[in-house]
Amino acid sequence: MTDDDRGDPRRPDPDALLALADKDRRGKLIVFLGAAPGVGKTYAMLSRARRLRADGVDVVVGLVETHGRSETAALVDDLEVLPRRRISHRGRVLEEFDLDAALARKPAIIIVDELAHSNPEGSRHPKRYQDIEELRAAGIEVWTALNIQHLESLADLVGQITGIVVRERVPDIVLKRADDVLLVDLPPTELIQRLKEGKVYLPESASRAVDRFFRLGNLTALRELALRRTADRVDDQMVDYLRQNAIDGPWATGERLIVCVGADELSARVVRVASRLASGLNAPWIVVSIERADRELETADTLRQLEALFRLAEQLGAETRRVIGQDYVEEILKLAKREHATQIVVGVRKRGGLSRLLKRSLPDELARRAAGIGVHFVTADRQEKAARKIPLPALSVVGLPRSTMIAASFVAVATSIGKLIDTIIYLPNISLVFLLGVLGSAAIGGYVSALIAASLSTLAYNFFFIDPLYTFTIAAPHEVFALFVFLAVAIISGGFASRIREQANVAGTRATALQSLYDFSRKLAGTDKRDDAIWLAVSQLQASLKRPVVFLTLSAGELSVTAAWPPDTELDVTDMAAARWAEAKREAAGHATGTLPNSRFQFRPLLGPHGIVGVCGIAYDKDDVDPASERSLSAVLDQTAIALDRARLSEETIQQAAQLEGERYREALLSSISHDLRTPLATITGSASSLIELGDKMNPESRRDLLQSIEEESQRMSRFVANLLDMTRIEAGSLKPKQDWVDVADVVHSTVERTRRYAPSRQIETRVAPTLSLIRGDSVLLGQVLFNLLDNAIKYGGNEPVAVYVRQDDDEIVISVTDLGRGIPAEELERVFEKFYRRGKADGRAPGTGLGLSIARGFVHAMNGTIHAESPAIRKRGTRIVMRFPVAGNADMVEA
Band (pLDDT 50/70/90 cuts) for residue 893 is very low
**CB neighbourhood size of 490 (10 A):** 27
Closest CA to 99 of 87, 113, 114, 82: 82
CA atoms of 757 and 147, how far apart (whole Å):
104
Q: What angle do CA 645, 633, 133 make, to 5 degrees?
A: 75
| 714, 687 Cβ separation under 8 angstroms | no
- Tens digits of residue pLDDT in 828-845: 888 788 766 665 544 444
Whole-number pLDDT of residue 428? 72
Between 844 and 638, residue with greater pLDDT: 638
Q: Find the helix or strand (DSSP H, E) in which 183 lies.
A: strand 180-184
Residues with Cβ within 8 Å of 241's Cβ and at least 6 positions away in sequence, in order, are 247
Q: What angle do CA 766, 769, 770 make, to 5 degrees?
A: 115
Whole-number pLDDT of residue 144? 94
Whole-number pLDDT of residue 145? 93
Q: Report the range of poorest mean pLDDT among 289-303, 730-744, 802-816.
A: 289-303
Whole-number pLDDT of residue 352? 58
How many angstroms from the chain centroid is the CA of residue 120? Answer: 31
pLDDT exceeds cutoff 70 at 9: no
**CB neighbourhood size of 478 (10 A):** 8
pLDDT exceeds cutoff 80 at 382: no
The fold for domain 257-383 equals Rossmann fold (3.40.50)
CA atoms of 97 and 114, how far apart (whole Å):
11
Whole-number pLDDT of residue 389? 43
Whole-number pLDDT of residue 111? 93
Average of pLDDT values for 139-161? Answer: 87
Whole-number pLDDT of residue 885? 92
Between 196 and 52, residue with greater pLDDT: 52
Whole-number pLDDT of residue 754? 81
Whole-number pLDDT of residue 12? 55
Average of pLDDT values for 412-434? Answer: 80
CATH numeric code, 735-895 = 3.30.565.10
Whether the bond between 597 and the residue before it is cis, its omega within 30 degrees of 0, is: no
CA atoms of 791 and 788, how far apart (whole Å):
5
Q: Find the helix or strand (DSSP H, E) in which 601 lies.
A: strand 601-608
Whole-number pLDDT of residue 208? 56
Whole-number pLDDT of residue 509? 67
Band (pLDDT 50/70/90 cuts) for residue 667 is low
CA atoms of 448 and 402, how far apart (whole Å):
10
Per-domain residue ranges for the chain?
14-244, 257-383, 399-503, 540-635, 735-895
CATH numeric code, 14-244 = 3.40.50.300
Whole-number pLDDT of residue 892? 52
Q: Report the range of poorest mean pLDDT among 18-22, 544-548, 620-624, 663-667.
A: 18-22
Residues with Cβ within 8 Å of 133's Cβ and at least 6 positions away in sequence, in order, are 174
CA atoms of 238 and 249, how far apart (whole Å):
9
CA dist 651 → 530, 597, 654, 655 (Å): 9, 37, 5, 6
- On the question of a common fold for 14-244 and 735-895, the answer reads no
Band (pLDDT 50/70/90 cuts) for residue 781 is confident
Average of pLDDT values for 231-253? Answer: 58
Percent of the chain with pLDDT over 70: 77
Any bridge partners for residue 323, and if so which? 290
DSSP state of 163: S
Whole-number pLDDT of residue 531? 82
Residues with Cβ within 8 Å of 558's Cβ and at least 6 positions away in sequence, in order, are none
Band (pLDDT 50/70/90 cuts) for residue 678 is low
Between 268 and 304, residue with greater pLDDT: 268
DSSP state of 695: G
> What mean pLDDT is reported for the chain?
77
Helix residue ranges, H only, 733-869: 744-758, 779-796, 852-862
Whole-number pLDDT of residue 891? 46
Residues with Cβ within 8 Å of 810's Cβ and at least 6 positions away in sequence, in order, are none
Band (pLDDT 50/70/90 cuts) for residue 1 is very low
Rounded to a whole number of angstroms, the distance between the first and last alpha carbons of the chain is: 84
Whole-number pLDDT of residue 21? 53
Whether the bond between 203 and the residue before it is cis, its omega within 30 degrees of 0, is: no
Average of pLDDT values for 323-329? Answer: 79
Whole-number pLDDT of residue 354? 52
Average of pLDDT values for 29-34? Answer: 92
Written as one string, the DSSP assignment of 484-513 is: HHHHHHHHHHHHHHHHHHHHHHHHHHHHHH
pLDDT exceeds cutoff 80 at 506: no
The fold for domain 540-635 equals Beta-Lactamase (3.30.450)
The tally of CA atoms less than 13 A away on the side-chain side of residue 552 is 29
123-127, 358-362, 442-446, range with greatest mean pLDDT = 123-127
Which pTM value belongs to this model?
0.57
Band (pLDDT 50/70/90 cuts) for residue 380 is confident
pLDDT exceeds cutoff 70 at 329: yes
Average of pLDDT values for 756-765? Answer: 83
| 581, 137 Cβ separation under 8 angstroms | no
| 68, 74 Cβ separation under 8 angstroms | no
Band (pLDDT 50/70/90 cuts) for residue 30 is very high
Amino acid sitting at position 624: D
| 263, 306 Cβ separation under 8 angstroms | yes
Percent of the chain with pLDDT over 90: 9
